[in-house]
Amino acid sequence: MKAIVLTTGTDNVSLEEWPEPELQTDDDVKLKVLQVGICGTDREEACGGRADAPQGEKRLIIGHEMLGQVVACGKNVIDFKKGDLALFTVRRGCERCIACEKGFYDMCYTGNYKERGIKNLHGFQSEFVVDKEKYLVKIPSSLRSVAVLTEPTTVVEKAIDEICRIQTSRLPCYRDHRDWLDGKLALVAGLGPIGLLATMVLRLHGCHVLGLDVVDDNSPRPQILKGFGGTYIHGKKVSLQDLSKHYPQIDLIVEAAGIAKLDFDLITTLGTNGIYALTGVPAEGSPLSIPGASLMKQLVLKNQVILGSVNANFTHFKQAVVDLEKGMQMWSDLLPKIISHHIPYTQFHKALSEHHQDEIKVVIEWQP
């Protein structure tokens, strides 16, 4: 089969012939890969950044955001059949810590987890993939056009799940509320795929959403944000100080920009009893100078919470499917626009190296 393979620690990525995987156990499922999304992690890997091949190997099949179709099942597989749309989750637990023993691989204590296409396991940029049924998520046919967005949506689902759990538990006045998010004011920083999917999910929960970015008002990202019912804030035209004056009670911030200076500056916009979830991973850079005492004083006096959130567990994958279905029911003409570029696998270098001004999500197409 064809596969997109990285020599780890280098920028050498190539399309190669690779052994086609077959069922190894009665619990295995084999998928024909239909689509694989490209994200910042893939591009970092392709530049020689973080990527670990399986033990004893130097080469890694990349890719972790996938959609496929079932082509074969082991005899013990219960919930899937040939022809089903499905996708595999990304992380595999260490199976030693209490979190992984309970299936919460996203909260692994040891750091000895593995991730398809990222850390010690081959990924999904190939014609076929095989894994166990317990890692497989069923996708309804109605989501065929957007299901490749499921994995990035899980990042959003986890962050929002954590926000709601924390806020509901620490604010007694909301413990009896069905949905803490309903009616709240949210700031989403960065309108890439994660930011736009966060906007969609927050709007489904009844949030008022401000979307912060620095692209032209008429470009695709702000237009999708507005289509979801959000309000665009142009970061080069509106200062964070002015933002705070106009919106003094921002209840939650979902950060999806991965810019360290902005991440710290955003703290000043958070309202009383507010919560701030960071999902972006900034690149290493020069040291920053921050008003540390002022920020710490604000966090204490305003009862604020800051949390980091990464990866997702199986519950978040299932919720992502539910919310993508709701999103397609409400915005069927809008949600697919988050996938801005469809590129055949033979042109994978274009997907990994080119970054167009109007790009949102690039998807590699594995089937004609």
Q: What is the pLDDT of residues 37-84, one digit of tens each?
A: 999 999 999 999 989 999 999 999 999 999 999 999 999 999 999 999
Q: Which two tokens stand for residue 364?
A: 């590699």
Rounded to an integer, the average pLDDT of 15-39 is 98
Q: Is 99 helix (H, G, I), strand (E, B) or coil?
A: helix
Q: Are 70 and 84 in contact (CB under 8 A)?
A: yes
- pLDDT band, very low/low/confident/very high, at 368 (cuts 50, 70, 90): confident
CATH class, 2-139+338-365 region: alpha beta
Q: Are 186 and 271 in contact (CB under 8 A)?
A: no
Q: Which two tokens stand for residue 39?
A: 């994200």
Q: Which residues pair with 34 in a beta bridge?
A: none
With respect to CATH, is domain 153-308 assigned 3.40.50.720? yes
Q: Where in the chain is the domain with CATH 3.40.50.720?
A: 153-308
Sheet holding 59-61, edge to edge: 13-17, 2-7, 59-61
Give the C-alpha separation, 108 to 116, whole Å: 16
pLDDT score recorded for residue 177: 76
Characterize the bridge pairing of strands 270-278 and 208-213: unpaired
Contacts for 168-175 with beta carbons within 8 Å, 24 or more apart? Answer: 170/305, 171/273
Q: Which single residue is written with the structure tokens 């978040």?
A: 316
Rounded to an integer, the average pLDDT of 343-368 is 95
Torsion sign, CA atoms 341, 343, 349, 352: positive
Q: Phi and psi of 105, rounded to 5°?
A: -65, -25
- pLDDT band, very low/low/confident/very high, at 280 (cuts 50, 70, 90): very high
Torsion sign, CA atoms 123, 314, 69, 361: negative
pLDDT score recorded for residue 246: 97
Q: Are 71 and 154 in contact (CB under 8 A)?
A: no
Q: pLDDT averaged over the chain?
A: 97
* DSSP conformational letter for 119: B
Using alpha carbons only, what angle is made at residue 322 by residues 152 and 67, rounded to the nearest 5 degrees? 50
* DSSP conformational letter for 348: H
The pLDDT tens digits of the residues spanning 154-198 come to 999 999 999 999 999 999 888 777 899 999 999 999 999 999 999
Q: Where in the chain is the domain with CATH 3.90.180.10?
A: 2-139+338-365
Specify the amino acid at residue 312: A
- pLDDT band, very low/low/confident/very high, at 276 (cuts 50, 70, 90): very high
Characterize the bridge pairing of strands 120-121 and 114-116: parallel
pLDDT score recorded for residue 16: 98
Give the C-alpha separation, 129 to 211, whole Å: 37
Characterize the bridge pairing of strands 28-38 and 128-132: antiparallel
The pLDDT tens digits of the residues spanning 207-244 come to 999 999 999 999 999 999 999 999 999 999 999 999 99
Strand boundaries in 18-141, DSSP class E = 28-38, 59-61, 65-73, 85-88, 91-92, 114-116, 120-121, 128-132, 136-139
pLDDT score recorded for residue 178: 80
- Length of the chain in residues, anyone? 368
